[in-house]
Amino acid sequence: MGILSLITGWPGPSGFGSASTAEQVSDSIDASDLTVIITGGAGGIGLETTRVLALRGAHVIIAARNTKAANKAKQLILENNVNAKIDILELDLSSLKSVKAFADSFKALNLPLNILINNAGVMFCPYQLSQDGIEMQFATNHLGHFYLTNLLLDKMKETAATTGIQGRIVNLSSVAHLYTYEQGIRFDKINDKDSYSDKKAYGQSKLANILHANELSRRLKVLSFCFYMCLSSFNLNFYFVKIEMQEEGANITVNSVHPGLIMTDLMRHSFLLMRIFKVFTYLLWKNVPQGASTSCYVALHPSLKSVSGKYFLDCNEYTPSNFATDPELAKKLWDYSYNLVNSL
């Protein structure tokens, strides 16, 4: 997959490409047995993803900071699909308290959870701190989704075990993960105001989305086991050796995607700059139905059963940056995020 494929829309190995729409990649897929949570599902590509998932029969829960806008989005979808199953729950990803409240509210509904799409985000915003005192792009794009995913993971494991349907987690990243700080993730300077770059901070958060998906995928892949060995000597002494593997072996896949260049409200902090940029790169841009295609493909397509820890662009597997494929950096980010969440 290269620039030529992006411009022409020629399909890749999956049979789809940059010109494919969300409806096309999910054509003939029956999602009526699936329950989906999508963050930021009330606008932009999140709204289109919600619409198409509902069109395929899924029960979609929109997790939205602006519930008024989410209700308008729901009514818009219902106008053309009276059978759409959509619910709305409030979620502000920049607040860990809100993330916990959302997870508790969802669990109280006693619904299954097959698919989690971590779609919402902020982009190129001026320096500011979240309610928890964390740089806003890192807090919203990564940390909120990290915490949300961990809180919902047991429900996803339970659903996969009881239904036999493999769960899927999709993290929306971006090609912007290539443009980050020199260290990749600035663990010791997450909140540093003096050296803050709105573009690099966004790239850092999108890199974190990929690393999060990769590390969670690794943790869920390998079966746990405990093996006890009893060794006895000729005399009365006994020695016990315990060997353990900590990974879980859950029936859940985790992948990350780049939706493409799409002009949405996400770019409100740099709208003029993006409009100028689009004039010179207009052949590379997608419309919203095309932008939602990779999310829908990774969330629903049967060809991706058991495919995990991968990065997708234009509905095809793609190799991200060296930082994004660094397992040690992924482990470090996991530990950092886990400790940060539990310290707040």
Are 275 and 285 within 8 A, CB to CB?
Answer: no
Residue 329 lies in a domain: yes
**How would you classify the pairing of strands 311-313 and 252-258?**
parallel
Task: Count helices and strands (H / E) in the chain.
Answer: 12, 10
Which residues are known to be catalytic?
Answer: 196
Q: Which residues contact 100 (CB under 8 A, 6 or more apart)?
A: 147, 151
pLDDT digits (tens), the chain, 344 positions? 555 555 557 899 999 999 999 999 999 999 999 999 999 999 999 999 999 999 999 999 999 999 999 999 999 999 999 999 999 999 999 999 999 999 999 999 999 999 999 999 999 999 999 999 999 999 999 999 999 999 999 999 999 999 999 999 999 999 999 999 999 999 999 999 999 999 999 999 999 999 999 999 999 995 433 333 333 333 444 333 333 334 567 999 999 999 987 754 554 545 555 455 444 444 456 999 999 999 999 999 999 999 999 999 999 999 999 999 999 999 999 999 999 999 98
CB atoms near residue 286 (< 10 Å): 23
Q: Do the strands 59-64 and 35-39 form a parallel or antiparallel pair, or are they unpaired?
A: parallel
Q: Within a domain: residue 239?
A: no
Residues 226-275: tens digit of each pLDDT: 333 333 333 444 333 333 334 567 999 999 999 987 754 554 545 555 45
Query: In this structure, is residue 261 part of a structural domain?
Result: yes
Place of tokens 């896949």: 253
What CATH number should be reported for the domain holding residue 14? 3.40.50.720
Q: Which of 125, 114, 112, 211 is nearest to 171 (CA)?
A: 211
What pLDDT is recorded for position 273? Answer: 53
How many domains does the chain contain in total? 1
Paired sense of beta strands 311-313 and 225-232, if any: unpaired
Residue-level pLDDT at 249: 72
Measured CA to CA, the distance from residue 344 to residue 335 in angstroms comes to 15
* Per-residue confidence (pLDDT) for residue 81, from 0 to 100: 98
User: Which pLDDT belongs to residue 226?
Assistant: 33
Domain that holds residue 100: 3-222+250-343
Contacting residues for 289 by C-beta, under 8 A, at least 6 apart = 21, 22, 23, 48
CA 199 to the chain's CA centroid: 20
Q: Is residue 228 part of a domain?
A: no
190 assigned to some structural domain: yes
d(CA 127, CA 71): 30
8 A C-beta contact, residue 59 and residue 111:
yes
In a domain, 244, yes or no: no
Say if 231 falls within a structural domain: no
For the whole model, what pTM was predicted?
A: 0.88
Determine, yes or no, domain membership for 238: no
